Structure formats: C-alpha cells, structure tokens
Amino acid sequence: MAKLSEYSAKRRFEATPEPKPVVAEGGGGPLLFVVQQHSARRLHYDFRLLCDGVLKSWAVPKGPSLDPADKRMAVHVEDHPFDYGSFEGVIPPGQYGSGEVIVWDCGTYSPDEHGTWFHDRAEAERQVREGIEKGKLSLQLRGEKLKGSFALVRTKDAKQWLLIKHRDRFVSKDDITARDRSVLSGVSVAEMKSVPAHRIPAAQLAPSAGDGTPKAMPATIAPMLAEIGDAAFRREGWMWEPKLDGYRVMAFIDKEGVRLRSRRGLDLTAAFPALVNELSGQGVDGMVLDGEIVAFDANGVPSFNALQNRVQLKTPAELTAADRAVPAVFFCFDMPYFAGVDLRDVPYRDRRRYLTQALLPSPLVQLVHADEDGIALQEAALTSGFEGVVGKRLDSRYQSGRRSPSWLKVKPVHSAEFVIGGYTRGKGSREALGAILVGYWEDGELRFASHVGSGFDARSLKLLQSRLEPLKRSSCPFAEKPELPNPTTWVEPELVAEVQFQQWTEDAHLRAPVFLRLREDIDPAQVRRNANSSSPRRRGPKDVAVKSAGSVGSRLGGDGGRTGHDIEEVLARLDGSKNAFELTVGTHRIRLTHLDRVYWPAAPGLQSPPQTKRDLLRYLAQVSPLMLPHLADRPLTMIRMPDGIGGQRFFQKHWTQERPAFVESVTVYSGHKDEEHEYLLCNNLPTLLWLAQSGTLEFHVWHSRARVGPDAVSKSTDYATSLESLEASVLNYPDYVVFDIDPYIYSGKEAPGAEPELNTVAFDKGREIAFHLRELLLGMSLEPIVKTSGKTGLHVFVPIRRDLDFDAVRQVSELVSRHLMRLYPKDITMDWSVPKRTGKIFMDHNMNVRGKTLNVAYSPRGEPGAPVSMPLTWDELADAHPLDFRMGGAITRLAHTGDRWRDALKRKQDLVRILK
C-alpha cells in the first residue's frame, strides 16, 4: 500500500467514485498504457504506464503529439492503482481533481531501446524501472490513437519530464488531440456529465494473461467461419464488416519470421513477398492475424481473378512485377493470439479493440472497417465493389474451425462452396463440358445439390477440363444418383467450386445456380451446407416442426403459443420497407402509417441513431410479454407526440374518439366535475401497437387495478356511480407504496425555469438516497423494488396487500420519507418550493394519490436517446445509469430482470402494522 499512499492521502473514497488504492498482484501479458483526458481546473491528459502493479503517471497539459518537434511537458505525479486505468466518470465538486474523466486512449506498450518485450513482462518491467530511474525511457505504444515510438525524458526538475515522439512511420503534423472521444464509451469529456459511465475492468483494456503464464503461439489455427444470413440489420450487440472477395489467410508472426496459411492450411508465404516484408514490421514476438488478402484490378476494384492469377506465379521476377502491377493488401479483422496471450476465448468486442490497438498499419496491412449499422455498411460495401457484409456478435468467442451463427455473411445473392462430383456433355462448342454436378458432405455422404451450366467462359471451361480429366472415375460419388438427361462423367470429389444461386428449393436443390470460380483455398472434405433460413434441411420422416429456441416468444417470457407467433409475425412485417400497410395481429387488424417518421432524432452526443415509428412498434412488440403485465387493468394516461419528441406533446387521460373493438376501457367517476370519464386499458398486444400508431410514446398508469382478486379487501367494481362508490371500489386500493426519488440537481445547461436535465451527478445522488431508503425499509421488514424513471430519477415500490386505501398508503410514504429526510437533511427535501429543492433530492409522497400516474415499466420516454423506464435488481442499480437502458437495447440487456421484478410485485407485504 506504500506505493499508493500519496494517491490515498489526496482522496476521500466515500465521496469520490475513483478506485480505491489496491496494488495489482500477479497478472501477465503485455504491459498496459492509458491516456485519460481530465477536465479539472484545466483540461489536461494523464499519461499512465503499468509497472509493478501500479500506474506510473504523468500529467501532460497539452496532451501527446505525433510531431517530433513538439516536446510536451509531462509532470510526474503520484502512482495510481491499476483499476484506475479504466476509470471514466465525474469526480464530484470539492474532491481532489474534481471534473470529468474519459479514457482517451489505451493499449499495450514496451520499452523499445533494445527491441520490444511485449511477450516478456518481467524484462519489460525491469527496463521500465531502469529507464525511470535514469530519467530516460524509450517505449513503443500500441494504442488506437498513439502508435509508434516515444521518449520520456526527465529535465533538471525531478518532477518535470518531456514526452517526445520519435521519428517513425507514425509521425504526423495532425493534432491527435482533435480526436477527442473516449476509446471505450465514445463520449467526449464534455458529455460525460450526462451519459452513463461504463467501467469495464482494467484487465480488459488490453490483452492480458490472468494467471500470469504466457501461452505458446499455436503452430496452426483454423479460421472461424460464418453462416449465411438473409439480410443485414442494425441491432445492439452486433458489429458489421465489409465482406472481402479474396483469400482467407492466417498470418503467424514471431522471431522466426512471417508465415501465411490459407483456410485449408496451404502455405502462401512465397506468393506474397511484399506482404511478408510489411508484416515483419509488426515488431512483436508472437502474433496471429486473421484476415483476407485482396488484390485490386486497374480500376481499384477487388478482383478475385487477379488474385488467382498472381498465386500461380513462381519466379522472384514475376512476383516483383505482380507486386507493382497487382498490389495485394492484407485486411485484418481478427487477432486470436498476441504476445503470449491466447485470445480465442475473449469476446469479439474485446478482440476487435485489441486488434485496433496492436496492429501497426502500413500501406499493405490494413484494419478492416467495422460499423454498427449493417444496412448502411452493406450499401457502401456494394458501391465500393465488395461482395457484401459480415455481421459478428460482440459477445462471440473465436470458434476455431467452426461455422457459427455468431458470424453471418450477407450478400445480395447467395453463394457457397460445393464439391464437384461429375460433369455432363453439352452441345456445340460446349460438347465436352455442358454442366458440372455439385454437392456437399452430410453424415459422411456426398449429397447432390445441383447441376451448374452457366457462368463459364472459354478460359474457365479450359481450366475445368484440364483439372477434371485426371479425376475421372467409373462410379457415381453422390449418395443418390441424380437423374440427368445428358451423358455424365463422374470424377473424384476433390475440386471445390464457388456457386452463386438465388435460394434453396424445397427438395434441397439450388435455384438458378451460376459458376463463379474454382476455390483452391477450400478443403473439399470440409464442404458442408450452411444451416440458415435460405437453406432448408433435407426433410425425412423423423423431422418435426419445432419453435426456434431464439424466438421472440421464448426470449421474452411468451408462452410459446399464439402470442409468441403473433410477435414474430409483427416483427417480420415491420422488417419490410413499406411505409404504410395493414397489420394483422391474431384476428385483429391495425392500419399502420408513416412508419419512417422520426420520433427520436439522432443524438450524436449520446451515440444514439434516429428512432422511427417503425422502431417504436418493433420495440413494443418485442417487449410486450414483459410490459403488458404491468399495464393490465390499470387506467392509462397517454403522452402523445405524433410528430416526435421535438413537436407538440400532450397528455391524454380520457378517450372520446372512436376506438377499435379490441381496445378495452373502464369508466371512472370524476369528483372534480361530478361526471364520468372513460379511461383506456392496455390489456393486449393489438392495443399496445395501436396506441403507438396513434403517437403514444409514453405510457403512464394508475397504481391500482380495475380487477378484484384474493389480495383485495374490496370486491366492488362500481367505479362510476358516485365518489362514494369509487372510494369503496377496488380501484381505491393500490398495489404498492410509491417513493418517487426526483433529483433537483442541475447540470447548468437548462433553460431558465426548466426542470433539471439528466446528468450523472444528479443520478448518482439519487441512487445513493435510494440505497438509504432500501436500508430503512429493510429495517421495517419491507422489501422494496426499484426501476429507473427513464429520465434522471428513480421509482422505488413496496408491493402490498390491497387492504389499505390511497389515503393510508400516502400517509405511510410521507412518514417514511420524512424520517429519511431527518437522517439526511443535507440531501433530501420535501419542500414544494422549487428554489428550496435545488441541489437536493425531492421526495414526493403525493404520488400516492388516486389518479396519479407514473410511467410504466419498460415505457419509452420522450427524451433524446430514446431511454426507457427499466426495472432493476438492487445489485444492477449499483452500476446503472438511465442511458444504459434505451429502446434499442433494453430487451437484450435486461429482459430477465423484468420477470424477477414482476415476481417481486406479487410478493404482497403487510403495511397495516406500521400504521398501528
């Protein structure tokens, strides 16, 4: 702890979110460097190097430079704990270094004065200690923004050092600090006040060996393969890359040199001397890159034929000429191994980041572009002459040698590899070869897929004939002999053809197949048919109809029956391109219009794309199994924004217009006007979607239900005759006590008189009060549950038996809130005066009044970024931020929590004893 004594002395860890002073023990793999941008009294950059379990740190006022002429001052400051490396967030006012912090860059580093030592941590740390002691340290950085060699040089003042860029290919006059966003969250330091701080463990910032033991570089690694997908999409949890039309190659780099291996293990090293030369400049002992070698034609368009032609070349003169005329570029898209760390069990999201850091790009060695929007990337890829796109799940592991649905390749038409098992005679100039017969291996047998008679030219016909002639055999290699009208010659199944086709037919044949090329890089023994929606299985007597394990119904708690089927049909219709159509849901019909109308404009500062009415309908359909139980039988108040969140918005409690027959309602007496009003009930999926079509973006409900039950002391359903009948009815008995935690802590950006906007400091304080409230309630033998409001507040509920009316429940909420306020008077207020609330958490017990509403669980909010009101466990609240839960990702991230939250609501608790 002595190493971090100065760090500890400057901070109060009960008040600051910064990591506590813990020295990292053990660990292995390359050393970590981090640069954090810190908006304290002045904006500056903190340059940190991991050594001996702590981060050696320098404050660089102007930030790093890639220009060797710039000698940037770097003030040596106290060591920081290893966990500080991934710290992003807001240090509160009054604390040391108060202000916003982001991780501006991070990656691996090594001393480089006598070679690099990424693979040997002990030696690297020894040289770092020695360099710091001498006052001169030369090091190579491999980050997303900072790459190449730098020097740290101490001046006459022991605290004053200089950070200087060495001359190498990464020198630039460009201002690197203009790239001002976090490499982890993508936010700028100015935006950190209002966006969630996602803190991953520091050990995930760069490749690391948790047990400290380096792993030997594998001699071979079979590449992971993609299944065929039907269409590109934009969905949280996926990243997309252009699909390259080249040779899939694994590049092995170590002190012995560079070796290029094709997908089937062929050695291609000698065919690409220029690539080998540039890959040798990666400067690391132990690196495996997965990528595609692509050759370009005279117009700069990827050309597989050009690549095949140059692979046939042998002599140095031919290869040198080819490197000039047909340059081949190695595009890297994965890194299964780096400097003693086997990364195959690491999620793709981290492998992608490590590759971005570790790769030292050059003209012939490039990082493949990646994007979250598969649809836009596919359009750009096709325009640029590429084949299509490949989608990858961010949580997918590297499944060496396997074809996985975690990777999807999408082309405008399908293509796949097939084994050639024979050919037929043709007519005229094609008499010798009319069509090839192709198939795939299944259960040890070669299954016939199609005869392919188009796509040939004179050159490809000549090549095929020369390759097939030596492979002739007398018997049919296919498990079932195909019926063909022309004479057939059978061949040994040793050649692989890539074939383009429209789709698979019901009898498992190819529709409209076209020969593209021979694939020398594919092992014929490994050719299988992709399992995907465009490739139906060969059906047999044992086949049964089964519901997909990944169906919406099963994912979101549906019963696997009609409801799940309806949701799937709704999503399928919404995936189309029509801007208006009639939607069928079960036996009901809803007219949908203006589906491409933008309800939530793009919010670049929040990294949020635009969200349309179509996106809202898709979200509500997916989340309906979780959301509808919270809406059921509760009078509904709609917040409608027909033109989106930037247009007019209005509350609508009562519905006087015509409505579809499937929309249920309840009539309730109004004491204010001595009249009845009709409230809508959202009790089914068609109603939910109809409301969204009508411009309802927020769904607010009563705290009581228009349904009797065993937990309800009242059995009356007369809500409309008089005030007395309403007060005696079940609608006057709520299901829970509400504690509305509403921060009145301003960000400073609000317009005069406006409510506080979402900001991290306010939410953090509200969360702290929520945990204090929970502690108090647990002491009363009451178990509360919690959800985000979707804005900056929190809603805490205590589920109760329906034997207390609203007046009694309001009294309980007030008693508990006032007691909590006495315990924390500096933080909590119950004052209705807005100026007196400012800077505190306002607790509004008057939310426990009949007719008051709160946004229902999973309801979207009409705020930038499309946040939703999300149920949480208390453990999840500890690290949560409201913008963690947005329309695009709420389901996939926390759908399971909704079920637990709903179960918690069913655990009715006794409040009568408290009032007594």
Residues with a catalytic annotation lie at 243
Q: Map tokens 């929007």 to a residue.
A: 373
HEC assignment per residue over 436-485? EEEEEEECCEEEEEEEECCCCCHHHHHHHHHHHHHHEECCCCECCCCCCC
CA distances from 224 to 313, 329, 351, 392, 817 (A): 28, 21, 14, 11, 57
Q: Rounded to whole angstroms, how far apart are CA atoms 73 and 164?
A: 9
Find the helix or strand (DSSP H, E) in which 816 lies.
helix 806-823
3-state secondary structure of 496: strand
What are the beta bridge partners of residue 553? none
Two tokens at 347? 């999620």
Q: Rounded to whole angstroms, how far apart are CA atoms 413 and 424?
A: 26
Q: Which residues contact 342 (CB under 8 A, 6 or more apart)?
A: 215, 218, 336
Give the CA-trace dihedral at 73, 79, 81, 82, to 10 degrees. 60
Q: Which residues contact 428 (CB under 8 A, 6 or more apart)?
A: none
Q: For the residues of 756-814, what is the DSSP string, one character each? A: PPP-HHHHHHHHHHHHHHHHHHHHTT---EEEE-SSS-EEEEEEB-BTS-HHHHHHHHH
Angle at 594 between CA 583 and CA 555, to 5 degrees: 50
Q: Using an 8 Å Cβ cutoff, are 367 and 242 in contact?
A: no
**Residue 341: other Cβ atoms inside 10 A:** 24
Q: Using an 8 Å Cβ cutoff, are 446 and 526 in contact?
A: no
Helices (H) and strands (E) in the chain, counts: 19, 44
Query: How does DSSP classify residue 603?
Result: B
Segments in 189-302 forming alpha helices (H):
273-279
What burial letters (b/e) apply to 130-161, b meaning 16+ CB within 10 Å?
A: ebbeeeebbbbbbbebbbbbbbbbbeeeeeeb
3-state secondary structure of 334: strand
CA distances from 596 to 590, 609, 689, 863 (A): 17, 13, 15, 19
Which of these, 163, 4, 177, 180, lies nearest to 75 by C-alpha position?
Answer: 163
What are the beta bridge partners of residue 55? 50, 80
Q: Map tokens 């694994």 to a residue.
A: 250
Segments in 78-144 forming alpha helices (H):
121-134
Is residue 412 classed exposed, middle or buried when 0-12, 13-18 and 19+ CB atoms within 10 A define those classes? Answer: exposed
What distance lies between CA 194 and its chain's CA centroid? 20
What does residue 569 show for φ and ψ, rounded to 5 degrees? Answer: -65, -40
Q: Rounded to whole angstroms, how far apart are CA atoms 763 and 870?
A: 14
Find the helix or strand (DSSP H, E) in which 696 lies.
strand 696-701
Q: Rounded to whole angstroms, how far apart are CA atoms 511 and 53?
A: 61
User: In terms of DSSP bridges, do strands 496-501 and 514-518 run parallel, antiparallel, or are they unpaired?
Assistant: antiparallel
- What type of residue sits at position 587? T
